Amino acid sequence: MKMQLTPEQQAILDGSRGEVVAKVMKSLVMFGETFGAEKLVPITGDFGHMVISFGIGVMKPVYDLMDQLIEAGALPQQQFTVDPKPLDPNIPTNLLQDVVFKVIMYSQQKRYDEQLKKLGLMKSDAYTCTCYMDEVGNKPKMGDVLSWSESSAVVYANSVLGARCNRNSGIFDLFGAIVGYVPYFGLLTDEGRKATWIVDVQTTKKPEAQILGSAIGMKVMEEVPYVRGLDKFLGTELNNDVCDYLKDFGAATASNGAVGLYHIDKLTPEAVEQGESLIAENAQIYVIDDAELERIVAGYPCVWKDPDARPKLCFMGCPHMSLNQLKDWTHRIQSGLQKAGNQKVVIPTVFTTSPAVKAEFEKTTEAIVLKNSGVILSDICPLMYMNNPLCGKMPVITSSNKLRTYTTAKFYSDDEILAQITKGGNC
Ligand code: F3S
């Protein structure tokens, strides 16, 4: 399908903004035509968001491309936030890990951080996947058209905020931001936002967000689910607790499947406005009860070399934790430690959050309590941290279904994680 360009878009393609921007436009047009897009539409959000946050040695050609873009003045039309960094000096490493991480794996990090500044990074600490949180300040409005690609942020922006964004890839998020347009297809269209699955939640208690999201993601894959029955547990108001729940739920749908948008009956903005008219004709039905959730968890493989190994590390916060979650978990850990008669967590534990939320949390009374419990607060991406041969062999536990999916980390529910880190015990 050939795309129809406006005179301004055609001029960019013909070189009105220089040869490099013309090439960027050409790539974007080819990308759109592959997916059947008939036109390009303007990006309307206030800020962009980039998925590539890491300067990894094997991707040197990507950083060479960034240099070319910067030299040619082919810069994004808006400032942007970016995913979290892969390293944090606060997380203990041994000499071998230091050498592998800094010298071999992330040898391009400094170079890339400088490039991000020149490309228009919103602020020096704008490294997080939860850019939409108030403390960070990159929160799209309903109907905004975006050029993002981080899957957990895309699904949140589409579903909870009502923005419009496809599940793009890295580099294409930047290309869209440079020309200021994105191809119009998929989740940008009214038709593409219709639900082709009805999910009926019939559990006896509030399902764990990470497990429900995993079940739905694995069932519907890249399609759009309309979830009924959750309002019974979550209510009908998008308050802090509900937004945290939907953040973790959405990340699990997006990583265990490839969901880019979900609707929650009576809760998410499009479902509130349009109700079941969002459901496409002949939508399939998936019923989720207690037994189904148990079946899903029982199916997670344990890929540790020794399945009975004592955990060496616990990661929480993939996607990054909110201020609300940090406070809540601090109270849970405090009371768990008191009950167990322990002063500090018995498994080294890292909570990850954005630099902006971390700064706010540090002003609260909970900050010292969390620190005294031995939990390390970091702003890294645990997945990036774990994706190397050294960490791959380490028995890590998590209640993030995204981290479980992409690494060797073993999944536990929130209650099980709390028991493990405050009381201990083998897996
Ligand atoms: Fe965020 Fe990294 Fe997890 S980008 S969602 S913390 S994989």
Query: Which residues touch 299 (CB under 8 Å, ≥6 apart)?
Result: none
Indicate whether residue 402 lines ligand 1 (CB < 6 A).
Answer: yes
Which residue among 56, 91, 129 is best mutated to probe the pocket of ligand 1, counting the most ligand atoms within 8 A of its Cβ?
A: 129
Q: Is the pLDDT of residue 427 over 70?
A: no
Q: Is the pLDDT of residue 225 over 60?
A: yes
Q: Please report where in the chains the tokens 């070399």 appear, as a residue.
A: 305
| Angle at CA of residue 221, ends 219 and 223, nearest 5° | 105
Specify the residue with its C-alpha closest to ligand 1, atom 5.
319
pLDDT mean over 131-140: 98
Residue type, 137: G
Indicate whether residue 330 lines ligand 1 (CB < 6 A).
Answer: no
Specify the residue with its C-alpha closest to ligand 1, atom 4.
129
250 Cα to the center of ligand 1, angstroms:
12
- Which atom of ligand 1 sits closest to the CA of residue 150? 4
Q: DSSP string spanning 220-255? A: HTTS-EEEES-HHHH-SS--HHHHHHHHHHHHHHHH
The lowest-confidence range among 75-79, 112-116, 303-307, 418-422 is 303-307
pLDDT mean over 119-124: 96
Instruction: Give the pLDDT band of residue 425 (cuts 50, 70, 90).
Output: low
Burial letters for 99-136: b for 16+ Cβ neighbours within 10 Å, e otherwise? ebbeeebbebbeebbebbeebbbbeeebbbbbbbbebb
Examine residue 319 and say whether the peptide bond preceding it is cis (omega within 30 degrees of 0): yes
390 Cα to the center of ligand 1, angstroms:
19
**pLDDT of 366-420, one tens digit each?**
999 999 999 999 999 999 988 877 777 789 999 999 999 999 999 999 999 999 9
Q: Is the pLDDT of residue 10 over 70?
A: yes
Q: Is the pLDDT of residue 316 over 50?
A: yes
Q: Is the pLDDT of residue 362 over 50?
A: yes
CB atoms within 10 A of CB 239: 11
pTM to 2 decimal places: 0.97
Q: Is the pLDDT of residue 145 over 60?
A: yes
The lowest-confidence range among 105-119, 135-149, 384-398 is 384-398
What pLDDT score does 101 carry?
79
In angstroms, what CA-CA distances link 347 with 246, 398, 417?
28, 12, 10
